[in-house]
Amino acid sequence: MTLIFRRCSRCPGEYPEQFFRRHRSPLNAFRGNEPLHYVCIGCELTERTEKKRANRWIVKANSTLRRHAKRFEISISDMITRYGWNVDRIAHELEHHYNNGCSNCGRSYRSMGHGLADVTIDIFDRTALPVYGHNTRIICQTCNREKGTLSVEDNAAKSIGWRLWEETQKQLEKRNTFGLALFDHAYS
């Protein structure tokens, strides 16, 4: 196999053609030729990563907005203008909740282990308009998946059940450890 090298238009490097992405379009595929990008994969990935590092919360807010717009089949501009999905506000609130814990279960996002992926925006009543701040809440991925497509009433009842269960577990823990320190101390 002979390697064919080409120069990246962004950096001075020369790399094998395989290190450049192909333009994937139906017209090019039909013609049987897919021209290569002028920028190498290394420079492309570095540029995307640097944009994310500049403000990870803005990137997260934009991707969240895009996914919700697609799911509700509403244009992004309508999500912003009609339903109040302001990217700067969303980014600020996502960061705030990340630093302070899930508003549903109260657990720390830092202890969850998946970084920004653990912070989600839930449209809690899917039958109502997705108005930001009125029909939305920021919760962890686990709580959002647990809720699924439950009605508001069913989800509220389930939340009550979880809180009662957690209280029961605390009581059981107190009972199971009652007197253990004295018992252990007597035999040491």
| Per-residue pLDDT tens digits for 7-60 | 999 998 999 988 988 877 655 545 555 577 788 999 998 887 776 677 889 999
State the pTM of this model. Answer: 0.64
Domain assignment present for 187: no
User: Domain residues for 86?
Assistant: 56-149
Tokens of 31: 């013609």
pLDDT digits (tens, 9 = 90+) for 45-86: 888 777 667 788 999 999 999 999 999 999 999 999 999 999
Interior angle at CA 168, CA 150 and CA 112, nearest 5: 60
Mean predicted confidence (pLDDT) in 107-117? 90
What is the three-class DSSP state of 53? helix
pLDDT for residue 188 = 46
Which pair of structure tokens corresponds to residue 177?
């450890």
Same domain, 101 and 18: no
Degrees to nearest 5, angle at CA 94 with 156 and 158: 15
The pLDDT value recorded for residue 26 is 59
Q: Given a cut of 90, is residue 138 above it in pLDDT?
A: yes
Domain presence at residue 159: no
For residue 19, give Cα distances in angstroms to 3, 79, 96, 148.
11, 38, 40, 41
**Is the residue at 179 inside a domain?**
no
* Whether residue 61 sits in one domain with residue 30: no
Residue whose token pair is 């925006």: 121
